[in-house]
Chains A and B, each alone.
Chain A
């Protein structure tokens, strides 16, 4: 226990926080524009599976990453069309996407690789273990800048807070929301890709294991702001790093596995009351 705050723990925290941070920042764009994105989990799975598959065939992780981004945006487009155009309940639509991407990777891996859920192992030299970490943490100040210093960010926030006013001012509410949801798909997919071609070397069935939801909790905990969200992700990453380090000790493994999930509930119960969501979050916009 004395070496709890070792360098190893620190680097492990950073690595475990990275997929959360990428997904949470993706969720941030979507939710600040007023669209709930509970589909982060499914988007991450889509990214993870695509990255592993394409890297396997192309032999280059960067092509895999680009393919993952394309896949994430395509899947996010489904959520966008359902919830923006057809005004479907955003939580239900997101849930459908999560179920869809429990099935699709398994179905496709069966067709491509004759396995039910896993992709072939990728050689060590074709992985990107570090680049996504850098991307993730660079995206924090970048997101802060985009949100607060650019006209796109201003519009994004306006659309999420007061779509009627934004509309009156000539902002196309639905266009901004489409862009935001597609962005969230791209970022969540990078987060997923990092799991399959960064942290490990293949895709396995349901390998996100709830990280999309934990990312969402981090976003809420971080009050929908980039820096606070990053801190929340680091906290969750730290909890997971500690839980991994404690494994093999005297505490049963099941209790250690529970730590991030229990922490998420504690965080939600303790903090959502004080956090203020974008005002029109979850409400489809239609001109009256």
Chain B
């Protein structure tokens, strides 16, 4: 028990340290000072209030996408499509905010949130159905659906929902009644200008709900059983096809919740190309967090800090760009993955092994 707890904390920690070492070597190779770079990276992410405020702001979407990838992983599925799911959701959310702008806030905000979750769930459910019904691999299908989602939302934005004469690819603004408050308006010491909003609280709530769903409900149990050993689950009377669709829909719905913070709490519109790869970073977050909501939360905070710090590194160092963060993420995934054979849903019996890419 203690050993397994130790292992689930120790290994991710080692992976992070290893990633930072590799990152330092890369920084050295391109002719900069790694210590100075990391000082800049970490210092700018942990200052109060701006550093921490922005770190939590960047962590919020990553909590959602990390949870999304984790739920799919628990069912033995790799959802690389969180990116597309959150694009579709963001557009749907903005659409509700524009179309029903006159509804009172108490109705409009929940309606817009529902649109975010529903749109994400549908877009995530499609590859689930294709996998369950036709055995088509979800990895390639979710990637293809990412491209399709970006093209579709860009089409609707350009042809139907852009403000007249606006040179930027973005929709009109959503109604005032669809806005959700910033944390700065009620957290003492946190200035209002920091865009951290109540979606962060929703993200914490989502962590708790995902935990309860996966470990305290029958559906969650069946999803995990399907991920652990599909053949045994099938034999035990679980309809694995249905669990695949359910897991992908829940996963997509969680990814879609990114839209709540971004559209209702930050930009107040759909902005073409708004996501800086939240969906892909979610994979690293989920793996590092060992596909557990608590781990996902911590990993998202780390990656949020990296994004915040990366922006500072980009501006203030001579040679290093914010893309260093992508390298750190990838190395974390590699190290975590190389160790993953010991345990977990993508171990010996994962569905990943059953359908061939």
Task: Give the B-binding residues of A (Cβ under 8 A).
Answer: 31, 36, 38, 78, 82, 86-89, 91-93, 95-97, 99-100, 102-104, 106-108, 110-111, 116, 209-210, 213, 216-217, 220, 252, 254-255, 257-258, 261-262, 264-265, 268-270, 272-273, 277-278, 281-284
Residues of B within 8 A of A82 (CB): 334, 337-338
Contact of A265 among B136, B284, B339, B356 (CB under 8 A): B136
Proximity string of chain B (80-109) to chain A, C-beta cutoff 8 Å, 1 when within and 0 when not? 100000000000000000000000000000
Q: Are A283 and B283 in contact, CB atoms less than 8 angstroms apart?
A: no
Q: Mark B170-197, 1 if CB is under 8 A from A, else 0.
A: 0000000000000000000000000000
Contact of A264 among B140, B325, B327, B350 (CB under 8 A): B140
Inter-subunit contact B327/A88 (CB<8 Å): no
Cross-chain contact A99 with B135 (CB below 8 angstroms): no
Q: Is the CB of B144 within 8 A of A103?
A: no
Known A88-B334, A92-B340; contact A116-B144, beta-carbon cutoff 8 A:
no
Contact yes or no, A38 B139, CB < 8 A:
yes
Beta-carbon contacts under 8 Å, B304-357 to A: 319-321, 323-327, 329-331, 333-334, 337-341, 346, 350, 352-353, 355-357
B243 on interface, CB distance cutoff 8 Å: no
**Is there contact, CB below 8 Å, between A99 and B159?**
no
Closest Cβ of chain A to B12, distance in Å, is 14
Instruction: Contact check, A261 vs B140: say whether CB atoms are below 8 A apart.
Output: no
- Which among B154, B325, B346 is the interface contact of A89 at CB below 8 angstroms? B346
The CA of A264 and the CA of B130, in the complex, are separated in Å by 13
Report the minimum CB–CB distance from A270 to chain B (whole Å): 8
**B142 to chain A: closest CB distance in Å?**
10
Contact B327 A103, beta carbon cutoff 8 Å: yes
Residue of B nearest to A281 (CB): B356
Q: Mark B146-157, 1 if CB is under 8 A from A, else 0.
A: 011001101100
Task: Choose among A78, A91, A99, A255 the residue that contacts B352 (Cβ–Cβ < 8 A).
Answer: A91
The size bracket of the interface on B is 35 or more
With a cutoff of 8 Å between Cβ atoms, the chain A residues found around residue B320 in the complex are 107, 110-111
In the complex, whether B78 has a CB less than 8 A from a CB of chain A is yes
B78 proximity list for chain A (CB < 8 A) = 91-92, 95
Closest 10 pairs (CB-CB, A-B)? A103-B326, A277-B356, A100-B330, A111-B30, A96-B333, A86-B338, A254-B155, A110-B321, A106-B323, A88-B337
Q: How far is the CB of A7 from chain B (nearest CB, A)?
A: 29
Nearest Cβ distance between residue A119 and chain B, in whole angstroms? 14
Is A213's CB under 8 angstroms from B140's CB? yes
A99 touches B137 (CB 8 A): no
A107 touches B341 (CB 8 A): no
What residue in chain B is nearest A256 (Cβ atoms)? B151
Q: Known contacts A255-B151, A262-B148: does B323 contact A116 (CB below 8 Å)?
A: yes
Instruction: Give Cα distance in the complex from A86 to B334, angstroms.
Output: 10
Task: Report B-chain residues with C-beta under 8 Å of the C-beta of A252.
Answer: 155, 158-159
Interface centre among B145, B277, B352 (most CB of A within 10 A): B352
Query: Quick check: B319 and A110 within 8 Å, CB to CB?
Result: yes
B152 touches A89 (CB 8 A): no
CA distance A268 to B130 in the complex (A): 9
CB-CB under 8 A from A278, the residues of chain B are: 356
Centre residue among A92, A272, A277 by max chain B CB count within 10 A: A92
CA distance A179 to B339 in the complex (A): 23
> A78 to B130, alpha carbons, bound, how many Å?
32
Closest to B357 in A: A36
Nearest B-chain residue to A27, judged by Cβ: B357
Judge whether A99 and B139 touch: CB under 8 Å: no
Minimum Cβ distance to chain A for residue B82 (Å)? 12
User: Could you say which residues of chain A place their CB within 8 Å of the CB of B284?
Assistant: 99
B151 touches A96 (CB 8 A): no
Contact of A282 among B136, B341, B352 (CB under 8 A): B352
Roughly how many angstroms separate A224 CA and B141 CA in the complex, as a whole number?
18
Within 8 A of A (CB), among B117-167: 130, 134-137, 139-141, 143-145, 147-148, 151-152, 154-155, 158-159
Let me know if B296 is at the binding interface, CB within 8 A: no
| CB of B357 to closest CB in A, whole Å | 5
Q: Is the CB of A269 within 8 A of B134?
A: yes
Decide if B326 touches A272 in the complex (CB within 8 Å): no
Residue pair A102, B340 in contact (C-beta under 8 Å): no
Contact between B144 and A264, CB atoms less than 8 A apart: yes
Does B49 touch A at the CB level, under 8 Å? no
**With contact pairs A110-B323, A261-B148 given, residues A217 and B140 touching in the complex (Cβ less than 8 Å):** yes
Q: Are A265 and B144 in contact (CB under 8 A)?
A: yes
Q: What's the least CB distance linking A101 to chain B, in Å?
A: 8
